[in-house]
Structure formats: structure tokens, C-alpha cells
């Protein structure tokens, strides 16, 4: 799943996690990213934003992309650069993400009227991260690339 | 390995306010417990409901959806809802999502009870 920018990174700067597609494992990605981001010098509130964004991305991959098939993996790449942390989350694409779903504008008043009150995950990712890009891997899996900048 | 159910929900009453204590994580696994606690206090006739968050370092979008469900019911039942004990991060998320327009956010339980007293006196 690594794109060209990731492949050029020195190997010691990249952490790779391969998580079972079972809800709860997103915590492992959150904890790892949080630990890395704190060591990189991110402020506590930015670390919290990162944790929320990564939990939503991994949860989407588990629930939608891999349809809760525990044998399918969610791959998370964390790339630490001097001035930013890049997070890639990829699933194995049992179900493809509709591109229209990647730019939602949910409103709470609409949610009151709906049976399903959800649909906040991707919106939260976009609100909390500095750069967000959804793509489809050649293999058909869904990928999201998120970047959070280190502010000095 | 405890990966799923990390929430404890309990209810109590103080000064005419039904307090729902939420210890732990608010995710998709929390739905039955939170809805059950809300139904319980509502069946007892609660007008003022406080969701008192304790040690919640993980609230995700599924948890937010559950809370929007509670707000929907609170509006329908003409109750007043407040929340307390949220970290700065989740206070921000609640404001972003719009939950703060429907549930007053207080730092802690005492502040929330004072807020309800002002409401009751008004």
C-alpha cells in the first residue's frame, strides 16, 4: 500500500501495524500513534485529534472496507518526518468506499430525523487532520492518507 | 484482552437531577447500556438528566451517534440534558458536532447541578 512518498522514507522512520479486522484493535493503532506523536513533540490536544482521526479511519476499514472479516488485515503506516506525521490506513477492499462518502457535511438536525445517527467519522477526520486524501489501491482496497503538521 | 466492553454505566439521583455516570469508553459497544440507563431514569419521570463522564479517553463517532440518539429522545420528552466531566478534546468534539447546542457542557458534576438549579428556578 505504500505510495512513492512513503517508499522513499528511511526505513527507521516508518512504523507498520497489521491489525485484525475486529473492532477494538483500532485502540492499538491509537496508542501507537499517540506514543509516537508525543515523542515527536506534538502538543497534547493535537495528539488527541490524531487519536480520534486514526480511530475513525481504522474503524471504517474494519467495518466497511473489510466487513468485519477478522482474517482480513488493516494496515497502518506511521511515517515520522521532522515537521509532520503521515498516517496511511488501508483495508483489503471487500467493499469499496463510495467517493461521495469521502466529503460528507453531516448536520445534527438531520441526524435527529434519521434512524441512523452516524456518519460523523470521515467528517471528523477531515476536521481534525491537516491533509486528508482518500484513494483506491490497485488491489482494490481503500486507502486514506492523513497528515498532521508539527507546529513549533 | 479487553478490547470491547470497557464501559460501566450507573444511575443515581441528586437534587432532582437524574445522573447517569459513564465510566470508560463510549463506542458502539455502549449503546445498550446508555440507552438502558436513559430509559430507566425517564421511566422514573426524570426531567433533568446529566450525563456524567468519568475517565472517558475514548469516545468515537459511534459513541457520538448514541449520544445524538439520547438528545433526540430528550427533545421529544421535553427533558433538559447536560454533560459534565468531558476532557477538553471531547468538549471540542461535542461543540464541532453540534451536541453542545442541545446539551449544556459543564466541567464537573457540581457545576452542572448548579446549572440545573438555575434552570429549575427560572
Give the range of the structural domain holding residue A26, as residue numbers without chain letter. 4-149
The CATH number for A82's domain is: 3.30.565.10
The pLDDT, as a whole number, for residue A4 is 53
Complex confidence, ipTM: 0.92
Radius of gyration of chain A (CA): 15
Give the model's confidence band at A3: pLDDT under 50 very low, under 70 low, under 90 confident, else very high.
low
State residue B67's pLDDT score: 98
Domain count, chain A: 1
- Read off the pLDDT of residues A87-117 as tens digits, 9 standing for 90 and up: 999 999 888 888 888 989 999 999 999 999 9
Are A104 and A85 in contact by the 8 Å Cβ rule? The answer is no
Partners of residue B97 in chain A, C-beta under 8 Å:
108, 120
Mean pLDDT to the nearest integer, A77-92: 96
User: Count of A–B CB contacts within 8 Å?
Assistant: 69
pLDDT by 10-residue block (mean), chain B, 122 residues: 77 97 94 97 98 91 98 97 97 97 97 95 86
What integer pLDDT is reported at residue B6 of this predicted model?
81
Q: The C-alpha cell of B9 is what?
A: 454505566
The pLDDT of residue A10 is 76
Phi and psi dihedrals of A143, rounded to 5?
A: -130, 145
Q: Hey, which of A8-12, A19-23, B5-9 has the most confident mean pLDDT? A: A19-23
* Chain A residues 82-111 with CB within 8 Å of chain B: 107-109, 111
Mean pLDDT of chain A: 92
Average pLDDT over residues A122-150: 94
For the residues A7-33, what does the mean pLDDT come to?
Answer: 90
Question: What domains are there in chain B, each with its CATH number?
Answer: 7-121 (3.30.750.24)
> Which helix (H) or strand (E) segment is B39 a member of?
helix B31-43
Contact assessment for residue A54 and residue A89, using Cβ atoms and an 8 Å cutoff = yes
Mean pLDDT, residues A50-78? 96
Mean pLDDT along residues A45-57: 98
- List residues of B whose CB lies inside 8 A of any A CB: 3-4, 27-29, 58, 60-62, 64-66, 68-69, 71-72, 75, 87-89, 92-93, 96-99, 101-102
Alpha helices in A3-152 (DSSP H): 4-7, 26-40, 44-60, 108-113, 121-128
pLDDT, tens digit, for every residue of A132-143?
Answer: 999 998 778 999
What is the per-residue pLDDT for A139? 78
Q: What is the DSSP letter of A130?
A: S
> pLDDT: is B61 or A8 the higher one?
B61
Cell of A146: 492523513
Cross-strand partners of B50: B19, B82
Q: Give the number of other Cβ atoms within 10 Å of residue A40's Cβ.
A: 17
**pTM for this model (two decimals):** 0.93
Amino acid at each position: 500500500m505504500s505510495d512513492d512518498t512513503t517508499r522513499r522514507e528511511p526505513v527507521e522512520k516508518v512504523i507498520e501495524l497489521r491489525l485484525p479486522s475486529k473492532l477494538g484493535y483500532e485502540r492499538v493503532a491509537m496508542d501507537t500513534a499517540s506514543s509516537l506523536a508525543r515523542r515527536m513533540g506534538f502538543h497534547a490536544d493535537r495528539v488527541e485529534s490524531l487519536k480520534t482521526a486514526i480511530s475513525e479511519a481504522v474503524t471504517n476499514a474494519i467495518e466497511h472496507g473489510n466487513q468485519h472479516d477478522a482474517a482480513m488485515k488493516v494496515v497502518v503506516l506511521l511515517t515520522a518526518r521532522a515537521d509532520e506525521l503521515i498516517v496511511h490506513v488501508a483495508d483489503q477492499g471487500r467493499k469499496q468506499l463510495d467517493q461521495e462518502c469521502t466529503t460528507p457535511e453531516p448536520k445534527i438536525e438531520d441526524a435527529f430525523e434519521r434512524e441512523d445517527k452516524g456518519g460523523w467519522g470521515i467528517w471528523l477526520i477531515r476536521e481534525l487532520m491537516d491533509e486528508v486524501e482518500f484513494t483506491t489501491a490497485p488491489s482494490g482496497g481503500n486507502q486514506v492518507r492523513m497528515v498532521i503538521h508539527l507546529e513549533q | 484482552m479487553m478490547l470491547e466492553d470497557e464501559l460501566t454505566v450507573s444511575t443515581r439521583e441528586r437534587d432532582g437531577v437524574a445522573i447517569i455516570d459513564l465510566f470508560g469508553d463510549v463506542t458502539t459497544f455502549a449503546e445498550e447500556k446508555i440507552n438502558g440507563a436513559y430509559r430507566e431514569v425517564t421511566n422514573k419521570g426524570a426531567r433533568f438528566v446529566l450525563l456524567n463522564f468519568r475517565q472517558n479517553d475514548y469516545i468515537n463517532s459511534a459513541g457520538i451517534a448514541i449520544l445524538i440518539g439520547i438528545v433526540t429522545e430528550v427533545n421529544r420528552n421535553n427533558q433538559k440534558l447536560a454533560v459534565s466531566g468531558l476532557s477538553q478534546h471531547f468538549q471540542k468534539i461535542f461543540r464541532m458536532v453540534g451536541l453542545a447546542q442541545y446539551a449544556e457542557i459543564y466541567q464537573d458534576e457540581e457545576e452542572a447541578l448548579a446549572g440545573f438549579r438555575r434552570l429549575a428556578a427560572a
